[in-house]
Amino acid sequence: MECVRCGATAVVEGSLMDTGGGGGVAFISSDKSLLMRIFGGGSRKVSAHACVHCSHLELTVEFTEKDRKRYREFDGPQPGVIERISE
């Protein structure tokens, strides 16, 4: 997969979750364990921006510098948890 904005191939797969209580939406990468996903550990804030003219919706995730360093180690699809551990 390729980023539609900058063309990078280091795209992280994940899902969105409701943080509850009007706190908004968070992004959880799919390489997090089930318990981390359930309790919201490692979640990142999501911001949404919409164009008034064409109704295009864009979501952005606020990654930390640690996240950027970790995910930039790989070019292309991110390896799964098992592949990361065995390297």
Which tens digit of pLDDT belongs to each residue from 43-74?
788 888 887 888 778 888 888 888 777 777 66
pLDDT tier at 84, thresholds 50, 70, 90: low
Q: Which residues pair with 44 in a beta bridge?
A: 27
- Pick left, alpha or beta for residue 20 (phi over 0 → left; psi -120 to 50 → alpha; otherwise beta): left
pLDDT tier at 8, thresholds 50, 70, 90: confident
Look at the alpha carbons of 38, 39, 44, 47 in this order and tell me if their dihedral is positive or negative.
positive
pLDDT the model gives residue 81:
66
Phi, psi of 64 (to 5 degrees): -85, 165
Q: In this predicted model, which residue has the larger pLDDT, 33 or 66?
A: 66
Q: What 3-state class would DSSP assign to 74?
A: coil
* Structural contact between residues 12 and 73, judged by C-beta atoms closer than 8 angstroms: no
